[in-house]
């Protein structure tokens, strides 16, 4: 036996550069659109130009005669076989008229698929779309949520009695988690009410959606740019009546998702139907315009919030009512998105009473579903905004109000008024560090000086002391909330003959860096080199079990599953090591990849040696199978609760309305870090998306129900040139709910940053009598707010340039909500 002298250093906690980036940034990527199969046909989708209409006639004759066209399909062709796209949330009473992949006799949003062309080239497919004749009988568009739920409103779906899909309620008195909300409302010394608008957003992932389907015997192999290959496999089979074991789904390299690729997409179903109908492999890849128009959107809520408090600033009650726009259909998790925020409005504060009511509404717009944070950004925005408004009402410093009401670090674990038990955190420490990094007091002095001087450029300071629930999720909790899926994750660890390690994870990444972080974990747990670990994922044949990547779950759930599988490998190895070392298992210790006999240094055996001995099988203890491999399926005991303090300073040019972020500081507590560099990257990207909601992005529809922001000319994504250099830092309190002590970081920046920015803008504008600003806080809105002491009003609905929308109609007024 040899001893291993050059033991690997601890990998967990190292800022390793991501091992997947070499191929991702050198053009060696395997995107779905790169896949070419022999005889493959190309699909193009014809989409409805109208938001709401009956289809009166369809003529595909000319299109079928076009060069290269192999088939043209309409809703009539697939009406009996397409089933309904699944909705994996089914509370009692949910109105679900079904979701066709291709419209049969009615279209319910502009962009809904009405015909599919299969042709030999993508050019021929696209050209043939123009030869399809469809006549429509227009129906009135249904656009505003409050209008849509009124008695007598035009109905999106015939056969329903209302556009209201569901009402979901939580109330602390009824739930036994606090006092009744009515008591807090009745006894309030101070009450502040606000209406906040979560504008509609577009996830805008970098890689457009793309799907390839190959018919294989009784089933299919599908490659798709998806976040959820495993869920997709099960639900695609269920939707189309295929046998699950005949469906293989592969998510190759996937270029971003942000929730936008959590779907069973209509196009995935249609690719499958066409491939099977023609018995040919097919590919569909969307254009960017198609993506913005028809991939699901996010947010789009009207939030009515009431907070009650005592005069000393002690908060007592929080009463939340939402309208949530589902668009035209209930998509996979769309109706449940508000409910993912339902437990977070109370945030880090000790409310005595809490009520949350969400009403889902159908409109004739693109369906909504998960978008980075899914429910929790909306919750965090509402509570962090109204805490500032309460502070204003009380004449208190907004930071003092938060300090007075937040859970103190010695009070963990703490069960909130929403019934969740937060395991750990230290809001005081994160806040103290953030204030120091910010230079808060100096900035406050400058703000006051500019205010006194009536400087045309005002400084505003914003705070967001956020928490969130992530690491989705304990299966039992999901079950109790009417989700049609659990929240476990699966992992396998396979020891190869040469000591290399294959790790199979069910958490299929789409840009997060799983391969690097998981390799670091396994390297430490097995004591092997980082480069000796290969992470396999994203193919239901090689990684047969999993629940995929969303809700900041991959590390807290998927990583925890890997730890459990690795631990099993070590235990199997221990028996073999004992045999090889001729010692008792109880006398062995395992450290940095080697087993040795306690008290007898020099006698040890490494994992690599054990792996090879196991491969040979020549000399194993009796009754031991020649395998070290192990599986684990881990169901978390709770969510994890990252938190942090985000501070934002903005300069607002009151002459033009332009807002510039002067400084942004955040101190996040995401538990124990596995790879600080990846955490940093996640925070940066998250901040950009959260800031974008505050200042830049909005999906706007015109009065006919057409998406005006149909290109990146009008859907204004910020670039690095528009954002400040972020100052980020961390505080660490370990999660007690998983073996790694990790909490999840994928959504934190997005959840936290939006209210920090808007609180800062409103702070800058307080001298002008402004107490709210609609998002995005465009220069025009800010300018109008300054001049009208308002929230900035509506926006024109037309496009900006030759590449935008055609009309320039406008909609004014505070009441005229455009969503």
Partner 1 sequence: MIPAEFEYTRPATVGDAVSALTAAGEDAKVLAGGQSLIPVLRLRLAYPTTVVDVGRIDEMRGVRDEGDAIVIGAATTHHEVMRDPLVAEHAALLAQATGTVADPQVRHRGTFGGALAHADPAGDLGACALALGCEFVASGPGGERRIPATEFFVDYLTTALNPDEVLTSIRVPKLGAGWSSHYEKFNRVAQAWSIVAVAALVRRENGSIAEARVGLTNMGTTPLRASAVEQALAGADATEAAIGAAAEHAAEGTNAPSDLSGKADYREHLARVLTKRAVLSAAGS
- Candidates 243, 801, 813, 815: give the one binding partner 1 (CB under 8 A): 801
Q: Are 557 and 545 in contact (CB under 8 A)?
A: no
- Smallest distance from partner 1 to CB 794, Å: 10
Q: How far, in Å, CA of 68 to CA of 120, rounded? A: 5
Closer CB to partner 1, 559 or 657, in the complex: 657
- Smallest distance from partner 1 to CB 126, Å: 4
- Smallest distance from partner 1 to CB 287, Å: 7
- Candidates 4, 216, 240, 713: give the one binding partner 1 (CB under 8 A): 713
Q: How far, in Å, CA of 494 to CA of 487, rounded? A: 24
Check residue 803 for interaction with partner 1 (CB under 8 A): yes
Residues whose CB falls within 8 Å of the CB of residue 599, separated by 6 or more in sequence, listed in order: none
Q: Are 333 and 341 in contact (CB under 8 A)?
A: no
Check residue 25 for interaction with partner 1 (CB under 8 A): no
CA separation, residue 168 to residues 95, 144, 200, 324, 472 (Å): 12, 20, 21, 11, 20
Backbone angles phi, psi at 232, to 5 degrees: -60, -45
Site string for partner 1, 632-661 (x = CB under 8 A): -----------------------xxxx---
Stretch that binds partner 1, among 14-22, 171-179, 196-204, 715-723 (CB under 8 A): 715-723
Q: How far, in Å, CA of 46 to CA of 128, rounded? A: 9
Stretch that binds partner 1, among 81-89, 236-244, 320-328, 795-803 (CB under 8 A): 795-803
Strand order in the sheet with 282-285: 69-74, 113-119, 41-47, 282-285, 210-216, 219-224, 247-250
Q: Are 211 and 295 in contact (CB under 8 A)?
A: no
- Smallest distance from partner 1 to CB 37, Å: 20
- Smallest distance from partner 1 to CB 51, Å: 19
Q: Which of 776, 772, 805 is nearest to 199 (CA)?
A: 776
- Smallest distance from partner 1 to CB 804, Å: 7
Closer CB to partner 1, 333 or 715, in the complex: 715
Stretch that binds partner 1, among 99-107, 118-126, 483-491, 760-768 (CB under 8 A): 118-126
Stretch that binds partner 1, among 256-264, 498-506, 542-550, 704-712 (CB under 8 A): 704-712
Check residue 488 for interaction with partner 1 (CB under 8 A): no
Stretch that binds partner 1, among 100-108, 275-283, 470-478, 709-717 (CB under 8 A): 709-717
- Candidates 215, 486, 718, 767: give the one binding partner 1 (CB under 8 A): 718
Site for partner 1 in 353-382 (CB under 8 A): none
- Smallest distance from partner 1 to CB 512, Å: 26
- Candidates 25, 123, 146, 408: give the one binding partner 1 (CB under 8 A): 123
CA triplet 674, 511, 233: central angle to 5 degrees? 110
Check residue 452 for interaction with partner 1 (CB under 8 A): no
Check residue 253 for interaction with partner 1 (CB under 8 A): no
Site string for partner 1, 78-117 (x = CB under 8 A): ----------------------------------------
Stretch that binds partner 1, among 367-375, 518-526, 617-625, 703-711 (CB under 8 A): 703-711
Q: Are 707 and 700 in contact (CB under 8 A)?
A: yes
Site for partner 1 in 735-794 (CB under 8 A): 778-780, 783-784
Q: Which of 619, 590, 624, 630 is nearest to 607 (CA)?
A: 590
The 10 Å Cβ neighbour count of residue 6 is 6
Name the token pair of 165. Answer: 């899909």
CA separation, residue 457 to residues 438, 440, 454, 662, 764 (Å): 20, 18, 8, 12, 9
Closer CB to partner 1, 91 or 804, in the complex: 804
Q: Which residue has the tokens 């000399």?
A: 619
- Smallest distance from partner 1 to CB 763, Å: 21
Site for partner 1 in 680-699 (CB under 8 A): 696
- Candidates 160, 162, 191, 289: give the one binding partner 1 (CB under 8 A): 289
Q: Which of 701, 625, 649 is nearest to 437 (CA)?
A: 649
Check residue 203 for interaction with partner 1 (CB under 8 A): no
> How big is the chain by its Cα radius of gyration, in Å?
28
Q: How far, in Å, CA of 97 to CA of 249, rounded? A: 28
CA separation, residue 235 to residues 254, 263, 265, 283, 436 (Å): 20, 10, 11, 20, 50
- Smallest distance from partner 1 to CB 70, Å: 17
Check residue 719 for interaction with partner 1 (CB under 8 A): yes
Check residue 65 for interaction with partner 1 (CB under 8 A): no
Name the token pair of 611. Answer: 């792996």
Check residue 708 for interaction with partner 1 (CB under 8 A): yes
Closer CB to partner 1, 452 or 802, in the complex: 802
Closer CB to partner 1, 564 or 781, in the complex: 781
Q: Are 674 and 740 in contact (CB under 8 A)?
A: yes
Closer CB to partner 1, 99 or 285, in the complex: 285
SS3 777: coil
Check residue 811 for interaction with partner 1 (CB under 8 A): no
Q: Are 231 and 483 in contact (CB under 8 A)?
A: no
Residues touching partner 1: how many (CB under 8 A)? 41
Stretch that binds partner 1, among 204-212, 246-254, 338-346, 716-724 (CB under 8 A): 716-724
Check residue 714 for interaction with partner 1 (CB under 8 A): yes
- Smallest distance from partner 1 to CB 291, Å: 13
Q: How far, in Å, CA of 263 to CA of 200, rounded? A: 18
Element (H, E) at 658: strand 658-669
The 10 Å Cβ neighbour count of residue 502 is 16
Query: What's the length of the chain?
Result: 819
Helices (H), 134-225: 145-148, 172-175, 181-186
Closer CB to partner 1, 211 or 416, in the complex: 211
Residues whose CB falls within 8 Å of the CB of residue 582, separated by 6 or more in sequence, listed in order: none
- Candidates 180, 544, 681, 804: give the one binding partner 1 (CB under 8 A): 804
Q: How far, in Å, CA of 538 to CA of 268, rounded? A: 16
Check residue 162 for interaction with partner 1 (CB under 8 A): no
CA separation, residue 681 to residues 11, 431, 741 (Å): 18, 21, 20
Closer CB to partner 1, 31 or 658, in the complex: 658
Closer CB to partner 1, 356 or 696, in the complex: 696
- Smallest distance from partner 1 to CB 326, Å: 24
Check residue 530 for interaction with partner 1 (CB under 8 A): no
Q: Which of 69, 231, 95 is nearest to 166 (CA)?
A: 95
Check residue 414 for interaction with partner 1 (CB under 8 A): no
Site string for partner 1, 258-287 (x = CB under 8 A): -----------------------------x
- Candidates 130, 135, 189, 591: give the one binding partner 1 (CB under 8 A): 130
**C-alpha 224: how far from chain center:** 18
- Smallest distance from partner 1 to CB 211, Å: 17
Q: Are 89 and 484 in contact (CB under 8 A)?
A: yes
Residues whose CB falls within 8 Å of the CB of residue 465, separated by 6 or more in sequence, listed in order: 347, 348, 384, 402, 406, 427, 430, 431, 643, 644, 645, 646
Stretch that binds partner 1, among 19-27, 92-100, 757-765, 801-809 (CB under 8 A): 801-809
Residues engaged in binding partner 1 (CB under 8 A):
122-123, 126-127, 130, 287, 289, 655-658, 696, 700, 708-709, 711, 713-714, 716-719, 721-722, 778-780, 783-784, 795-804, 808, 810
């Amino acid at each position: 036996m040899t001893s291993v002298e050059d033991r690997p250093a601890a990998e967990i906690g190292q800022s390793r550069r991501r091992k997947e980036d070499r191929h991702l940034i050198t053009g060696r990527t395997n995107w779905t659109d790169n896949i070419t199969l022999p005889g493959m046909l190309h699909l193009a989708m014809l989409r409805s130009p109208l938001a709401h209409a009956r289809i009166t006639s369809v003529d595909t004759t000319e299109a079928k005669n076009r060069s290269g066209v192999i088939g043209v399909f309409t809703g009539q062709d697939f009406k009996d076989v397409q089933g309904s796209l699944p909705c994996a949330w089914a509370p009692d009473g949910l109105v679900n008229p079904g979701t066709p992949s291709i419209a049969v006799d009615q279209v319910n949003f502009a962009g809904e698929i009405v015909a599919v062309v299969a042709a030999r080239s993508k050019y021929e497919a696209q050209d043939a779309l123009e030869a399809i004749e469809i006549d429509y009988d227009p129906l009135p568009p249904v656009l505003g949520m409050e209008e849509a739920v009124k008695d007598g409103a035009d109905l999106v779906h015939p056969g329903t009695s209302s556009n209201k899909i569901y009402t979901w309620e939580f109330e602390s008195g009824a739930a036994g988690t606090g006092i009744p909300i009515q008591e807090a409302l009745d006894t309030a010394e101070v009450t502040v009410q606000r209406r906040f608008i979560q504008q509609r957003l577009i996830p805008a992932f970098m890689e457009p959606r793309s799907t390839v389907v190959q018919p294989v015997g009784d089933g299919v192999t599908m490659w798709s740019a998806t976040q959820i290959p495993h869920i997709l496999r099960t639900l695609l089979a269920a939707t189309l009546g295929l046998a699950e074991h005949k469906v293989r789904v592969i998510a190759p390299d996937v270029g971003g998702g942000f929730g936008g690729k959590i779907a069973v997409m209509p196009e995935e179903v249609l690719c499958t139907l066409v491939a099977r109908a023609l018995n040919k492999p097919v590919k569909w890849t969307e254009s960017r315009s198609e993506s913005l128009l028809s991939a699901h959107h996010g947010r789009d809520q009207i939030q009515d919030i009431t907070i009650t408090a005592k005069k000393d600033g002690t908060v007592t009650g929080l009463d939340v009512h939402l309208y949530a726009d589902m668009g035209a259909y209930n998509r996979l998790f769309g109706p449940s998105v508000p409910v993912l925020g339902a437990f977070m409005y109370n945030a880090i504060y000790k409310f005595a009473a809490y009520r949350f009511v969400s009403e889902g509404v159908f409109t004739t717009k693109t369906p909504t579903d998960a978008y980075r944070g899914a429910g929790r950004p909306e919750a965090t925005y509402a509570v962090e905004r109204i805490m500032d408004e309460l502070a204003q009402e009380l004449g208190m410093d907004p930071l003092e109000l938060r300090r007075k009401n937040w859970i103190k670090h010695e009070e963990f674990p703490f069960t909130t008024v929403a019934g969740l038990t937060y395991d750990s955190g230290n809001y005081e420490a994160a806040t103290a560090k953030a204030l120091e990094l910010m230079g808060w007091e100096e900035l406050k002095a400058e703000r006051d000086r500019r205010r006194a001087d009536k400087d045309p450029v005002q400084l505003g300071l914003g705070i967001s002391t956020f928490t969130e629930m992530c690491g989705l999720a304990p299966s039992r909790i999901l079950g109790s909330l009417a989700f049609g899926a659990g929240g476990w994750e699966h992992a396998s660890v396979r020891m190869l003959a040469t000591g290399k390690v294959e790790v199979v994870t069910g958490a299929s990444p789409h840009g997060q860096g799983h391969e690097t972080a998981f390799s670091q974990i396994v390297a430490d747990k097995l004591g092997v080199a980082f480069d000796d670990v290969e992470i396999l994922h994203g193919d239901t044949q090689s990684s047969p079990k999993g629940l995929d990547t969303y809700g900041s779950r991959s590390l807290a759930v998927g990583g925890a599953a890997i730890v459990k599988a690795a631990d099993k490998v070590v235990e199997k190895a221990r028996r073999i090591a004992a045999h090889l070392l001729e010692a008792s298992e109880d006398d062995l210790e395992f450290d940095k990849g080697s087993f040795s006999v306690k008290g007898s240094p020099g006698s040890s055996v490494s994992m690599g040696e054990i792996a090879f001995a196991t491969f040979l099988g020549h000399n194993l203890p009796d009754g031991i199978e020649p395998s070290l491999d192990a599986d684990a399926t881990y169901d978390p005991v709770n969510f994890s609760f990252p938190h942090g303090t985000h501070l934002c300073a903005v300069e607002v040019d009151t002459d033009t309305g332009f807002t510039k972020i002067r400084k942004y500081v955040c101190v996040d507590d995401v538990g124990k870090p596995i790879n600080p560099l990846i955490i940093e990257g996640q925070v940066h990207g998250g901040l950009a998306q959260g800031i974008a909601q505050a200042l830049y992005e909005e999906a706007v529809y015109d009065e006919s129900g057409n998406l005006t922001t149909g290109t990146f000319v009008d859907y204004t994504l910020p670039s690095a040139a528009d954002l400040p250099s972020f100052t980020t830092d961390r505080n660490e309190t370990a999660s007690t709910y998983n073996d790694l002590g990790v909490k999840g970081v994928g959504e934190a920046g997005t959840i936290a940053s939006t209210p920090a920015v808007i609180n800062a803008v409103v702070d800058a504008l307080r001298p002008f009598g402004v107490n709210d600003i609609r998002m995005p806080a465009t220069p025009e809105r800010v300018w109008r707010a300054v001049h009208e002491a308002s929230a900035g009003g509506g926006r024109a609905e037309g496009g900006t340039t030759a590449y935008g929308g055609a009309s320039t109609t406008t909609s004014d007024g505070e009441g005229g909500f455009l969503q």
